[in-house]
């Protein structure tokens, strides 16, 4: 089975609220994680990444948290906007030095104006 999964398949928030998207992974050897955003009809777009030697990384309006103890990854989006509506995937490097990405199933984020 897949080694990366998501707790919530859908998330609906109000514009301006903060969003939190969660992801569980099972491969304790994974050393690199990425969050992707995929809009309808488009390929996945890189949002933010984090290496396993970190527990938090911040970008513009986004923060990724990594908890290796419970093998959990989360994406926080501050002040969510309608343009943030998309499917969000977490992915882990499961291939060691070959950098092979394993994607989770995705969470659909809907932002209500």
Partner 1 sequence: EAGVAQSPRYKIIEKRQSVAFWCNPISGHATLYWYQQILGQGPKLLIQFQNNGVVDDSQLPKDRFSAERLKGVDSTLKIQPAKLEDSAVYLCASSAGMLGRGGEQFFGPGTRLTVL
Residue 86 interacts with partner 1 (CB under 8 A)? no
Please, what is the minimum distance in Å from the beta carbon of residue 25 to partner 1? 12
Do 41 and 90 meet the contact criterion of CB atoms below 8 Å apart?
A: no
Residue 12 interacts with partner 1 (CB under 8 A)? no
Residue 22 has, within 13 A of its CA and on its CB side, a CA count of 7
Do 15 and 112 meet the contact criterion of CB atoms below 8 Å apart?
A: yes
Please, what is the minimum distance in Å from the beta carbon of residue 16 to partner 1? 28
Which residues in the 23-52 window bind partner 1 by CB under 8 A? 32, 34, 41-46, 49, 51
Rounded Cα distance, 88 and 47, in Å = 9
Q: Give me the torsion for CA of 81, 22, 9, 59, rounded to 10°.
A: 30
Please, what is the minimum distance in Å from the beta carbon of residue 70 to partner 1? 21
- Residues making contact with partner 1 (CB under 8 A): 2, 4, 32, 34, 41-46, 49, 51, 89, 91, 93, 95, 97-106
């Amino acid at each position: 089975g897949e080694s990366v999964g998501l707790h919530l398949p859908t998330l609906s928030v109000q514009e301006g609220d903060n969003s939190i998207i969660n992801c569980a992974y099972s491969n304790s050897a994974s050393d690199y994680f990425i969050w992707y955003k995929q809009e309808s009809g488009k390929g996945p777009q890189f949002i933010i990444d984090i290496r396993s030697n970190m527990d938090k990384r911040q970008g513009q309006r986004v923060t990724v948290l990594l908890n290796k103890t419970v093998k959990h990854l989360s994406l926080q989006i501050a002040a969510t906007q309608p343009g943030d509506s998309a499917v969000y995937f977490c992915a882990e490097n499961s291939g060691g030095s070959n950098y092979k990405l394993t994607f989770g199933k995705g969470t659909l984020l809907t932002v209500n104006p």
